[in-house]
Structure 1
Amino acid sequence: MTETCLDVRVRLLGEMALQNGVDRLVISDSLTVSWLLGIRSNVRLGADQPCFSVELDWRSGDCVVNYVIPRHEADRVRASLRTDVKYSGCSRYSVYEWSGSAWDDLDSSGSVGTDVRRDGLRFLGPQIEDVRRVLQPEHRRDLRALTAEVTNLVETIALRVTPSFTELEIAAQVASEALLVDGEPLVVLVGSGRDQFRFKHPVPRAVPVCGRVVISVGVRRHGVVTSVTRYLTFDPLAPHEHQLYRGLLEVEAAMLNASVPGARLSDGLEAGKAAYRQQGFPDGTWREHHQGGLAGFAPREILAGRDQDPILLDGAVVAWNPSAAGFKVEEVALVRDGGAQAIGAPGPNWPSVAVAGRQRPAVLQA
C-alpha cells in the first residue's frame, strides 16, 4: 500500500520514538501539530497553542493516532481534518470536558515522550523538532502556493496605493485579502514617511501614506507560514538609496548562500555580518534588529544569534531579513545544496532585480 503523507510523518516520528526508547508520543506543541496535520489547530486568530493534542501509540505494533480533544471542539476538529492528509491506519478520538485537561486521563503505562515538559513524561522536544523542521513535499507545495498568493495580494494592493490611503486602510485590505484566501494574518505592518527610519516594526496608523511605504506581512495557512515585504515610493529614490537597497539584497544573498545542509544557523548570520561590511554599511548594523532565522511553521521559530544554533537540515526553511536606514528585505527560502532556494518571487507587474541568481523585488516607483 502506498503511504499517505500523514503515514510518512507518523513513520518518521515512530523511527525517532524507537531510537529514544518510547512507545508513545503526545504532541501538544502548535508547530508540531501544524507539521503533522497541516490544519489550523488554534481557535483564536494567530494563537500559538492548539486546542487539542495528538497521541501516537505504537504499543500494539502499528501506530494508533488518537486525537485528544475537548468535547466542544471535537466535531469541528474532525470536520477540519484535510482529506489529502489522511492516515491509513487506525484513528480514534478521545474527548474530555472543557473544565478538564488532555492530560487528565492519559494512560501512563509504557514509555511516553512529549514535545512539552510534563512531570513523569520524557521530554523529547528537540528530537521531535529535528523531524518536523524538514518540510515534506506536501508542506513545500502548501508553502509555495501560500507564498504566491500572499505575494500577489500584497503587490496588487501596493500597486493601487495612492497618497489618499491611510496606513490602516492598507493594513485592513491586506488582512482582509489574507483571510479571503483562508490565511491567518499573523503580522501586518504598514509604515511610511519619516517613520520608515525610526521604526523597525511600523504598526499601521490612521495617517495618510507619504514618501516611502512598506507593507510587510506574515500569513499562516495549512500550518505553514510565509513572509512577504514590499516597498513603494512616491518620491524618486536618490542614487545612494538605490545603492543601499541593492546592498541589503547582497547581504541577503550572502545569508541565503550560506544556508546549506550541515551548516549552522549562525553561519548564515556570520555571512550576513561580513556582507554588511563588504557593502559599506556601518559597523554593528546587524545589531539594530534581528536578522531572521529558522522559519516554516512560524514567522521565525529560532532567531539567529540567540541561544539555539541548530544545524540546518536539507528541506528546512530559513527567512533572513537584513535591514538598514528604513529598508528591509525578506524572503522565505528552502535550505538546499548550493544555497537556499527562494520560495517566492516578484510578480509580473512588480519591478525586480537579479541578485546571485535569484529574482528579488525592487522598490516600486508609484
Structure 2
Amino acid sequence: MNLINQEIYYKLELMRKALSETGAMGVRLRGSDWFAWATAGGSNTVLLASETGVAEVLVTAKDAWILTDEIEAQRLQDEELPGRDESSDRLYKLHINPWADKVARESFVREGTNGGKILSDIPTTHESSLPLSLINQKRVILPTELERYRRVGRLASEAMTEVLLKAQPTWTEYQLAGAGAEALWSRGLHPALTLVAGERRLPLYRHTTPKQEALGRAAMLVFCARGYGLYANLTRFVFFGLEQANAETRNFASLHSHVHKIEAEALNLCVPGRPINVIYDALGQAYEQHGYPEAIRQHHQGGTTGYLSREIIANPTTSENLVENTAVAWNPSLPGAKVEDTFIIQKDGGLENLTFDPKWPSVKVEGRDRPLPLEID
C-alpha cells in the first residue's frame, strides 16, 4: 500500500473511532480544510472565498463517500481523488447527484446513516459538532503531510522572493498584490491572502488590503498560500533607497530588530506541552519590555496553523497545549514592522522553518535565521 493510501486509511480509522466514541452513524465534512485533510491533499475548492466547496466527505462504520454533483464528479475523480486501494478500487466511493436536485443528496445521507446522529465540521440544525479529539488529530501534521507542507512552504517563500526582488517603488499596491498572486498561482498555490502596504499605509493599519496607490520607499507583502489544503504564512518587507527616505520610513527598518526579539520569546516557548496562552502572555511582556505595551492589543499575534490559516489564534484564554508536529505561525508587529514564518514543532522542542528561503537576507536571532527587510538602492 502506498503512503498516501496509508494516510487516508489512518484518517478513516480516526473518523470511525469518533463514531464509536459518540454513538454517531456518520461523519460529514463540508469545509475545504477538512476535505483536504480527509483526502490527503485533495481539493473541493472552486470559489476561493468560500469555506466550503463542491464536494463533501461522508464516512460511516462501513463506507466512505465523496458526495458531489454531476458537474464536478469526473474532474474530482480524475484529479483530486487519486488514492486507490490494492484492488484498484477508490478509497472513497463517489455519490453523484443531479446538480439541480440537492434533495437527492440529503436522502442518500439519511439512508447511509440510517437516520442516525451525524457529526459535522459545519453542522446543520440536525447535526452535531465534531468531537475535540478528532479536531486535535487534524492539527497534528503526519509525516506524509509534512512532506507536502515542506513543498508548499518552499514554493511560497520562493514566490515571495521572486516578486519583491523585481518590485518597484512606482508599483501600486494592487500591482504588488497581483504579482504575488501570479507567482503563487504559477507554482500551483492558492493565493488565499495577499496583503500589501506601501510607505504611507504601512504605519496606519495591521491588515492592509491593497489599494490603488504607489508603494513609495517601503512595502510589506503578506502571503497565506494554500497547497494540498495546507497554509504557508509569511511576511516580508522591501525598502527602496532607504538612505534618501524620511526619518519615519528609516525608523520602520530599525523596528524590525524589536519584532525579531519579541518573536524570539514566542519561538523559544514553542515546545510540546506548552499552553498557548503562556506564549501569548510572554509576547505581551516582551512588547512592554521593548516599550510598546499597547501592541499586544493592536493585532492578533498568530498561533497554530495547518489546514486553516490559523487553527487556533492565541489569546489570554487559549489554554490548549502545543503538541509535537503542530504547525505555528506567530506574527508580532509594530507600526511599520512585522515578522512571520511557518514552523513545525519537533519532538525535541526544535523548530523547522517551512518558509525559509536562503536567497532572502536574514539575521541570526536566538540561533534562528530570521528575515531582514530587503534593501534596494
TM-score w.r.t. length of structure 2: 0.87
Please state if 1:144 is matched with 2:150. Answer: yes
In 2: Cα distance, 1:50 partner to 1:286 partner: 35
Asked whether the 8 Å contact 1:6–1:86 carries over to 2, the reply is no
Listed as ranges, the matches of 1:32-47 within 5 Å are 32-37=34-39, 38-47=41-50
Instruction: Name the counterpart of 1:355.
Output: 365
From 279, 282, 289, the counterpart of 1:271: 282
Match of 2:10 in 1: 8
Mapping of residues 216-365 of structure 1, within 5 Å: 216-234=222-240, 235-236=242-243, 241-278=252-289, 280-305=290-315, 309-336=319-346, 337-348=348-359, 350-365=360-375
Q: Which amino acid aligns with 1:45?
A: L
Q: TM-score, normalised by structure 1?
A: 0.90
Aligned pairs (5 A) from 1:58-73: 58-59=61-62, 64-73=63-72
* 1:208 paired residue among 210, 214, 220: 214
Relative distance call for 1:254 and 1:306 in structure 2 (3 A) is closer
The structural deviation recorded for 1:111 is 5.2
Shift of 1:49: 0.5
Distance (whole Å) between structure 1 residues aligned to residue 225 and residue 153 of structure 2: 9
Alpha-carbon distance in structure 2 between the residues aligned to 1:96 and 1:355: 55
Q: Is the 8 A contact 2:280 2:315 kept in 1?
A: yes
Bigger CA drift: 243-252 or 229-238? Answer: 229-238
Q: SS at 1:226's partner residue?
A: strand
What are the ranges of 5 or more consecutive residues in structure 1 without an aligned counterpart? none
1:86 is displaced (CA, Å) by: 4.3
1:91 and 2:97 aligned? no
Instruction: From the superposition, tell whether residues 4 and 86 of structure 1 become closer, same or farther in structure 2 (CA, over 3 Å).
Output: farther
1:171 & 1:339 partners in 2: Cα distance? 33
- 3-state DSSP class of the match of 2:236? strand
Can you list the C-alpha shifts for 1:109-128, whole angstroms capped at 9, x where unaligned?
26543333234444325332
Letter in 1 for 2:137: V
Deviation at 1:40, TM superposition (A): 1.9
CA drift of 1:223 comes to 0.6
**Contact kept in structure 2, 1:167 and 1:209, CA below 8 Å:** yes
Q: Deviations over 1:251-288 (max 9, x none)?
A: 1121122222222221221121122223x132121111
Following the alignment from structure 1 to structure 2, what is the Cα–Cα distance between the partners of residues 176 and 242?
27
Amino acid at match of 1:24: G
In structure 2, what residue type is equivalent to 1:176? Answer: E
Structure 2 CA distance, aligned partners of 1:91 and 1:48?
22
Contact 1:5 1:86 in 2 (8 A): no
Measure the CA separation in 2 of the matches of 1:345 and 1:266: 26
- Equivalent position of 2:162 in the other structure: 156
Conservation of the 8 A alpha-carbon contact between 1:166 and 1:205? yes
Number of residue pairs the alignment of both structures matches: 359
**2: CA distance between counterparts of 1:317 and 1:97?**
39
Question: Residues of 2 paired with 1:313 and 1:112: CA distance?
Answer: 28
**Residues of 1 paired with 2:215 and 2:177: CA distance?**
12
Alignment RMSD: 2.4
Give the CA deviation at 1:169: 1.6
- Matched-pair contact (CA < 8 Å) for 2:301–2:314: yes
Counterpart amino acid of residue 268 in structure 2: N
